[in-house]
Homo-oligomer: A and B are copies of this chain.
Amino acid sequence: MSETWQEELRSRGYRVTPQRQLVLEAVSVLEHGTPEEICTEVQRTAHGVNISTVYRTLELLEDLGLVKHTHLGHGPPTYHLATHADHVHLVCRGCGKVTDVSPRVADGLITVLRAEYGFETDVHHLTVYGECCENSPSVG
């Protein structure tokens, strides 16, 4: 981690542009954001970045390993910082809420899949669907 991402970009022949900085910042602020939401967030701060630039930038940032994406449901993918990626997503079918939990909840799963199937789990991409407790009326 001796290089900033800006230096990383330049060393690869890419350029550091305001749009790329803004998109990365928006991903950071939103924690979980779809391309559409990221575009809107950027527009709150600056003059605005075109949606197609958001798509192109997210692809680049993901390629650089700065951001990651997951599929949280039917809709568009959600992006988050790679440094913030160390968690598993719980998605409630009832209220739609997304909860981040420690990847350690999947330790058992990872072990079993590796032992029985030789399968290396990408825990950062793991999303678990179900129903959260707050979905019941007993909790405000």
Q: What residues make up the interface of A, taking CB atoms closer than 8 Å to B?
A: 71, 73-74, 77, 90, 92-93, 99, 101, 105-109, 112-113, 116-122, 125-133
Given contacts A105-B112, A108-B108, A109-B105, contact A118 B130 (CB under 8 A): no
What are 23 sample pairs from A and B whose C-beta atoms fall under 8 A apart? A71-B71, A71-B73, A90-B113, A90-B117, A90-B119, A93-B122, A99-B117, A99-B119, A101-B113, A106-B109, A107-B108, A108-B109, A109-B109, A109-B128, A118-B133, A119-B131, A119-B133, A120-B131, A121-B128, A121-B130, A122-B129, A126-B128, A127-B127
A105's nearest neighbour on chain B, judged by CB, is B112
Contact A101 B74 (CB under 8 A): no
How far in angstroms is the closest Cβ of chain B from A42? 23
How far in angstroms is the closest Cβ of chain B from A91? 9
Per assembly, the copies of the chain total: 2
What separation, in Å, do the CA atoms of A130 and B106 have in the docked complex? 13
A109's nearest neighbour on chain B, judged by CB, is B109
Contact B129 A101 (CB under 8 A): no
Contact B132 A119 (CB under 8 A): yes
A99's nearest neighbour on chain B, judged by CB, is B117
A102's nearest neighbour on chain B, judged by CB, is B116
